[in-house]
Amino acid sequence: MAMHVYTASFEVSLKVGPDIADISGSLAKIVAASGVRTGTLNATAIGSTASLSTIEYEPGAVEDLKAAITRLAPPDMRYAHEEAWHDGNGHSHVQAALLNPGLVLPVRDGRIHTGTWQQAILINHDNRPRRRSVDVTVIGTD
Amino acid sequence: MAMHVYTASFEVSLKVGPDIADISGSLAKIVAASGVRTGTLNATAIGSTASLSTIEYEPGAVEDLKAAITRLAPPDMRYAHEEAWHDGNGHSHVQAALLNPGLVLPVRDGRIHTGTWQQAILINHDNRPRRRSVDVTVIGTD
Amino acid sequence: MAMHVYTASFEVSLKVGPDIADISGSLAKIVAASGVRTGTLNATAIGSTASLSTIEYEPGAVEDLKAAITRLAPPDMRYAHEEAWHDGNGHSHVQAALLNPGLVLPVRDGRIHTGTWQQAILINHDNRPRRRSVDVTVIGTD
C-alpha cells in the first residue's frame, strides 16, 4: 500500500447568500480520481464569506438552515465592517467565521463515508452571487 | 519512521438531543492502537443530526452547551423540513449543520494533545435516542 | 516526492474574550519550515475556551464577529457551570464549543492557500487574558 496526497479544486456558482450547494458529487469524483481507498478528505472553502458543513440536502432542511444562518447574523443590523467598507456584507463575514471554512470526511473502500442522508454542502454567505471555490486534499493509502 | 494511516469507528448511545457524550477515552484508545506517535486525528460524526466539538466535560458546562444549541435552533419553531417529512427533527438538522460534523486533534508522543480540561465530545441533535457512529482516521509517523 | 509529517506549536497572548488574533503569519512560517509543498495544514486550539476559524481580518469585521460570539452565549446569562465553579466563564466554554477548536487549510506550492481577504484566526473566549496555544500538523509531499 502506497501513500498518496491528491489535490483538486472545483467551483460552484451560488446565488445571494445564504445560498447552499450540495457538493457531495464533486467530492466523490475527486476521491475516485485520487486512487485513495483508506484515508481522509480535507476540504476548505476559499474566501472569507463561504463555509462548509453537512446536512440532509432536501429543500426544507436547506431553507431552515438558511433561516438559522440569517438569525446568527442578520443583514439588517449595524456592522462595523460596513462603516469602513460600505459593501453591505458585514453579516456575510460574521456568518462564515461562525460556521468554519473546513470539513473533514472519512474515505473508506475508495468512497467518502457519510450517513445515508448526510450530504456535504458549500455555503455562500456573500450579499451577491459568487462563483465559490473549494480546495480538496485527499490523503491515504491505495 | 514509517507513515501510517489507521482507521477505526465506534458507536455511542445517546438520548434525545441535544445529548452529549465525552468521547475522549474512545479516541485515546484508537490513537494507542494506531501506533502513530506524531500526526493528526481526524474524526467525523456519521449522520446529518450529529456533530463533534470539544468542551470541559463537567455537568454544568454540558448543560449550558445544550441550552445554547437549543437557542440556535429551538424545536418549537416552524421548520420547512417538517412540512415535507413530519418527523419532528427540523431543528436537529439545523443544529448539526451549524456545529460541523468534524474534529481535528493533534497526536503528539503517541497521545492526543488537548488542554487539561478539554474533552472531545459527540453531540446527538436528533429528537429521539440514537446510537451514533464516529469515523476516526489517524495519520502520522511511528 | 517524500511524505512529511511536520509539527509545531505557537502561543499568542490575547485579552479578555472574545479577543481575536490573526495567526496567518505564524501558520505561514510553519508551512515554510515544514518543507511540504502539497498537502494539508491541520490546526487545533489547545484549551476549552479557545477556537479557530477564518475571517477578513480588518477591525470592523473583527468587532462584528466579537459581537456575534457574545450574542451566541452572553456573559450576563445564568450558566450551570458557574454554580459549581464560580469562575465566571460559563459563556466562554459554550462559545468555544459552538465554534469548534479546529481548522484545516490547503497547502499548495509550499504555501497556505486561502482567499485574498481570508485570514486564519485564533479566538480567546475566556473571561481573562490568556496566553493561548495552537498545535499545527502539516502533512504532505515536498
**Within a 10 A sphere around the Cβ of C1, how many other Cβ atoms?**
9
SS (H, E, C) A43-93: EEEECCCEEEEEECCCHHHHHHHHHHHHHHCCCCCCCHHHHHHCCCCHHHH
Domain ranges of chain C: 3-141
Report yes or no: C53 at the A interface, CB cutoff 8 Å.
yes
Q: What is the pLDDT of residues C32-65, one digit of tens each?
A: 999 999 999 999 999 999 999 999 999 999 999 9
Closest CA to C103 of C49, C51, C61, C34: C51
- Facing B79 at nearest CB: one of A38, A64, A108: A64
ipTM confidence score: 0.97
User: Region B45-74: what's the mean pLDDT?
Assistant: 98
CB pairs < 8 Å spanning A and B: 114
Identify which of B48, B53, B121, B72 has the alpha carbon closest to the alpha carbon of residue A100.
Answer: B53
pLDDT of amino acid A64: 98
Q: Which CATH superfamily is domain B3-141 in?
A: YjbQ-like (2.60.120.460)
Rounded distance between C-alpha atoms, residue A112 and residue A41, angstroms? 8
Strands C3-14 and C111-112 come out as unpaired
* Residue A22 to residue C10: CA distance in whole angstroms: 36
Residue C78 burial (CB count, 10 A): 9
Name the pTM for this structure.
0.98
Q: What is the mean pLDDT of chain A?
A: 97
Residue C64 contacts A, CB cutoff 8 Å: yes
- CA–CA dist A64, A79 (Å, integer): 24
CA nearest neighbour of A18 among A53, A66, A65, A79: A66
Residue B100: C-alpha distances to residues A87, B63, B65, C7, C44 (Å): 28, 20, 15, 25, 15
Asked if B55 lies within 8 A of C98 by C-beta distance, the reply is no
Q: Tell whether C113 is within 8 A of chain A (Cβ).
A: yes
- pLDDT at position B25 is 98
Task: Give the position of cell 438559522.
Answer: A68
Q: Where residue B89 falls among pLDDT bands split at 50, 70, 90?
A: very high
- Rounded CA-CA distance C89/C86 in Å is 8
pLDDT tens-digit map of A129-139: 999 999 999 99
Put simply, whether A137 touches C (Cβ < 8 Å) is yes
CA–CA gap between residue A125 and residue A130 (Å, rounded): 9
C3, C5, C81: residue with CB nearest B61: C81
> Are residues A118 and B101, on separate chains, in Cβ contact within 8 Å?
yes
Nearest Cα neighbor of B54 from C9, C49, C129 is C49
DSSP B54: E
Q: DSSP assignment, residue B71?
A: H
Interface-testing mutation among C64, C107, C125, with chain A (most A C-beta atoms within 10 A): C64
What is the DSSP-derived secondary structure letter of residue A116? T
The answer to whether residue B85 scores a pLDDT higher than 90 is no
* C126 DSSP assignment: S
Residue A114: which of B46, B79, B94 has the nearest Cβ?
Answer: B46
Give me the pLDDT at residue C85, please: 83
* Mean pLDDT, residues A45-71: 98
- Cα of C101 to nearest chain A Cα, Å: 10
- C22–chain B Cβ distance below 8 A for any pair: no
Residue B66 has a CB neighbour count (10 Å cut-off) of 17
Taking all residues of chain B, what is their mean pLDDT, rounded to a whole number? Answer: 97
* Chain-centroid distance, C-alpha B128: 17
Q: Which residue in C48, C30, C51, C46 sits closest to C139, CA to CA? A: C30
- Give the residue from B115, C20, C12 showing the smallest Cα distance to A98: C20
> How far is C63 from C59, CA to CA, in rounded Å?
6
Task: Please give the residue of chain B at the shortest CA–CA distance from A65.
Answer: B94
Q: By CB neighbour count within 10 A (0-12 exposed, 13-18 middle, 19+ buried), where does A71 fall?
A: middle
Q: pLDDT band at B65, cuts 50/70/90? A: very high
Cell of C53: 476559524
Q: pLDDT at residue B86 above 90?
A: no
At A44 the pLDDT is 98
Out of C84, C97, C104, the one facing B104 most closely (by C-beta) is C104
pLDDT of residue A84: 84
**Interchain contact, A102 vs C105, CB within 8 Å:** yes
* Cβ–Cβ under 8 Å, residues A119 and A55: yes
Q: Longest Cα pair distance anywhere in chain B, in angstroms?
A: 56
Pairing of strands B102-108, B38-46: antiparallel
Does A72 have pLDDT greater than 90? yes
Whether C106 contacts chain A with CB within 8 A: yes
Which candidate from C43, C101, C137 shows the least CB-CB separation from B54? C101
Min Cα distance B29 → chain C (Å) is: 20
The predicted model gives C96-115 an average pLDDT of 98
Q: What are phi and psi of A50, to 5 degrees?
A: -140, 160
Residues in A closer than 8 angstroms to B7, CB to CB, are 38, 106, 108
The whole-angstrom separation of Cα C17 and Cα C124 is: 5
